[in-house]
Amino acid sequence: MQAEPVLIVGAGPTGLNVALALVRRNIPCRIISEANRPGEQSRAMVVQARTLEFYDQYGFASEIVEQGVVAETAHIREGGAQGSREVLALSFKEMGAGLSPYPFALAYPQDDHERFLMGKLKGLGSEVEWGSKLTGFTQDGDGVRASIEHNTGRVECVAASYICGCDGARSCVRETLGIGFPGGTYQQHFFVADVKVASGFSRDLTVNLGKHILTLMFPVRSSGMQRLIGLVPSELSGLENIGFEDIRAHVEPLLGIKVTQVNWFSTYRVHHRVADRFRVGRAFLVGDAGHIHSPAGGQGMNTGIGDAVNLGWNIAHVMQGRAHLSILDTYEPERIGFARSLVATTDRAFTSLVGEGVAGEFTRRIVAPLLFGVVTRFSLGRHAIFRTISQMRIHYPDSSLSQGVAGEVDGGDRLPWVHDGGQSNFDPLRSLDWQLHVYGGVRKELETTCRGFHLPLHVFNYGDAARDAGLRRDALYLVRPDGYISLASPDQTDGKLSGFVRQFQLGFAGL
């Protein structure tokens, strides 16, 4: 009997990524959005390296990179409304060199990004159902029954195998499940503006660490404009209907620019919250439905995409009968831990940087530039910053799917990128499936085991690149469909691989 489709509620970057992960694996799904058409607001501006690595697995990372602007340098400025100066220029290329095929941050507006993903979905025969609003659902051991109100007035009752709540901060899925969304709302107002500047289009990022921290400037390729995001000065926060002219005198000296045209301006408030749970039975919370926080670090959308990639392969493999149901239990602990620490760190950083009085001033003007300056002087520090911002640092050490250690690489770590003489160990990840990696030599017994399981085995040269990445010669690394290491074992013959495969009833597709 054909399985009921997976119902994906929401067609933002998260929902579109869940859909891609399922459709690419031939899992039937429906993706609905209460909006009548695709979004036109370019909220998230930064696509991080880890997201590009996921897109590399789908084979379209370079297409996205071409459409955005590769931001190679971030200019850190310091100062108040009376004027500011550049204190540091950070090269992303230097910070990420050797760590990822994408050692940069990509400026690519969210609306362009969503349209791009929709195009990819359409190419796979799947389209968003616009004007279709989830109004509630029930579930039992056999499935989900959801109620959808279409903009034509028709009400539809839909049967689904799972429901993925990718329906943003006001999630109907979360509310129907009665899951708490504790946290708070920052008192500051943010502004966002699309502007032209007198000095012409700049491809770099500018971050001001002055009195109004979070005055950021990004390039938008498709419009040739610059995107400004920042805090509305506190003395203006009582004003109704703030426009760009109200803040012009504050913003221009901070960023060292002269704005000649304003295309779009808006203000908004920011929340910091994490849902108490990400899963109840057959229902999952994904993306902003589960976590929201300050846009300061450019992490929100990328975290939602990471959730989507994680959940997508879990559901697909369970529905294909290629993994034990317990694989679904790993989604919440793997992703909620990161969401909580992200919200806590962005909250701490944001609160101390925007703090009023002498302490806030001291952090902004002295501590932050000094810290950045010192840390980025050393390659270890530069790498640590890049790993954190790019989301490459995300790992799942406590997951039941993460076992063993070999060299400096643990079960649960992202597979380190090894590029050696034109050969990249990321290329086989395009199968979107389980695979075994060995760097060095393979014993006959292991080859036989892999053949027996139809588990693809990839053998790489153990050179300087593999050693520098912390991999151990001749060890085995079982890699998950999302590029994380599940099992790391220094020993090829001790039965750990077979035990692992049996424990999770894994089925492999072969080469």
Ligand X SMILES: Cc1cc2nc3c(=O)[nH]c(=O)nc-3n(C[C@H](O)[C@H](O)[C@H](O)COP(=O)(O)OP(=O)(O)OC[C@H]3O[C@@H](n4cnc5c(N)ncnc54)[C@H](O)[C@@H]3O)c2cc1C
Question: Which spans of this chain sit near ligand X (rule: CB under 6 A)?
Answer: 9-15, 32-35, 43-46, 110, 133-134, 166-168, 172, 192, 229, 268, 287-288, 295, 298-302, 304
Q: How far is the CB of 254 from ligand X (least distance, A)?
A: 18
Q: How far is the CB of 511 from ligand X (least distance, A)?
A: 34
Q: How far is the CB of 304 from ligand X (least distance, A)?
A: 4
DSSP secondary structure string for all residues of 69-93: EEE-EEEEEEEETTEEEEEEEEEHH
Q: How far is the CB of 249 from ligand X (least distance, A)?
A: 22
Taking the least distance from each CB to ligand X, the nearer of 146 and 405 is 146
Cβ pair 107, 219 in contact under 8 A: yes
Q: How far is the CB of 61 from ligand X (least distance, A)?
A: 16
Burial of 28 (0-12, 13-18, 19+ CB in 10 A): middle
Cβ pair 186, 231 in contact under 8 A: no
Taking the least distance from each CB to ligand X, the nearer of 302 and 486 is 302
- For 50-67, letters b (16+ CB in 10 Å) and e give bbbbbbbbbebbeebbeb
Rounded distance between C-alpha atoms, residue 306 and residue 415, angstroms? 15
33 Cβ partners below 8 Å, 6+ apart? 10, 11, 15, 128, 129, 130, 131, 132
Element (H, E) at 380: helix 379-390
Partner residues linked to 128 by β-bridges:
31
Q: How far is the CB of 248 from ligand X (least distance, A)?
A: 19
Phi-psi domain of 409 (left: phi exceeds 0; alpha: psi -120 through 50; beta: other):
beta
Taking the least distance from each CB to ligand X, the nearer of 132 and 402 is 132
Rounded distance between C-alpha atoms, residue 333 and residue 326, angstroms? 12
Q: How far is the CB of 293 from ligand X (least distance, A)?
A: 9
Q: How far is the CB of 167 from ligand X (least distance, A)?
A: 4
Taking the least distance from each CB to ligand X, the nearer of 43 and 458 is 43
Rounded distance between C-alpha atoms, residue 387 and residue 309, angstroms? 19
Taking the least distance from each CB to ligand X, the nearer of 266 and 379 is 266
Taking the least distance from each CB to ligand X, the nearer of 163 and 478 is 163
Taking the least distance from each CB to ligand X, the nearer of 229 and 485 is 229
Taking the least distance from each CB to ligand X, the nearer of 285 and 469 is 285
Rounded distance between C-alpha atoms, residue 406 and residue 100, angstroms? 21
Strands (E), 198-233: 205-208, 215-220, 225-231
